[in-house]
Amino acid sequence: MFADTGRLHIAVQKSGRLAQYSRDLLRDAGLRIQNGKNELTARVDNFPIDLMFVRDDDIPTFVADAVCEFGIVGRNVLEEFGAGEAEPRFDVAAPLGFGRCALKVAVPESFDYRGPESLAGERIATSYPGLLRRFLADHGVEASVVKMSGAVELAPRLGIARFVCDLVSTGATLEANGLVPVETVLESEAVLVRTRRPLSPAKAELADNLFRRIEGVLATQESKYIMLNAPEEALGEIADILPGAEAPTVIPLAGRPGHYAVHAVCQESVFWETLQKLKAAGASAILVMPIEKMML
């Protein structure tokens, strides 16, 4: 579809649940995306990168064929595509922490479910036949899989299938249709995928640069910068409490012999309990600050 112009292409969902998060992530990574929401592509001003806005179902194909070197897509869509492939043609470069959901088997509330064997010989409607078949095979169950492209939750009421296998986040849609989830086929979130096709050296360098920036954004989302004061004898215990911090910086406090300022980047969530523990260990004047940018 694209001649090799030396520009890198990233496939993102055009509209839908992942669309805005995907753009925001790329913006946070420093890409200045030209507007043009209804176009198929958008140029990035400050890098030789183009975005392609497509249906999420097409993203695995585009990345596998290296029409786009990168893509942002749900693990569910990716694994369904992969279920039909002998060898993966892309790598999952990073889980992105948004678009969380799970592919679940659900049964009518009145059904007395006793484990996967209850599905034997039944009809199950789903948009994910590959993943459902894999799940059934893993449990040694034979059932017939009815492929639907949408409104799967209506299948039991329409008499198409007794059970469904559908994406669930809050469970409200299932509940509204009198269905209860009984098995988890796959836990999913959006992921960054990267083609396995070899890239020209210039493109490979750009791809690595982009990937490092995205990693940086992901790292800062959870990370916090902590500053506190502590007496010397408390430093060891405090270092053990700081979540995900490597080698904190310890600086002597002017005019207070035996007292130090401790600065650390914590790469895990910092909770109130953590602060209470730090205080109990002897820390005072504890400050927790967000991190704006980070490159690892």
13 lines the binding site for ligand ATP (CB under 6 A):
yes
> Given the rule CB under 6 A, which of 42-50, 51-59, 153-161, 204-212 is the region that contacts ligand ATP?
51-59
Alpha-carbon distance of 13 to 53, in angstroms, equals 6
Alpha-carbon distance of 190 to 101, in angstroms, equals 9
57 lines the binding site for Zn ion (CB under 5 A):
yes
User: For residues 57 and 175, which CB has a smaller minimum distance to ligand ATP in the complex?
Assistant: 57
Alpha-carbon distance of 289 to 106, in angstroms, equals 43
User: For residues 61 and 209, which CB has a smaller minimum distance to ligand ATP in the complex?
Assistant: 61
193 lines the binding site for ligand ATP (CB under 6 A):
no
153 lines the binding site for Zn ion (CB under 5 A):
no
> Given the rule CB under 5 A, which of 18-26, 50-58, 67-75, 146-154 is the region that contacts Zn ion?
50-58
Residue 44's DSSP bridge partners are 33
Alpha-carbon distance of 26 to 210, in angstroms, equals 9
The DSSP result for 83-130, as a single string, is: TT-SS--EEEEEE-S-S-EEEEEEEETT----SGGGGTT-EEEES-HH
Binds ligand ATP by CB under 6 A, chosen from 27, 32, 55, 157: 55
Binds ligand ATP by CB under 6 A, chosen from 23, 66, 69, 74: 74
Partner from ligand ATP, Zn ion, none contacting 183, C-beta within 5 to 8 A by type: none
> Given the rule CB under 5 A, which of 31-39, 48-56, 136-144, 174-182 is the region that contacts Zn ion?
48-56
Nearest CA-CA partner of 48 in 192, 191, 215, 205: 205
Nearest CA-CA partner of 163 in 196, 138, 126: 126
96 lines the binding site for ligand ATP (CB under 6 A):
no
Residues in contact with ligand ATP by the rule CB under 6 A: 13, 16-18, 55-57, 74, 76-77, 99, 101, 167, 169, 188
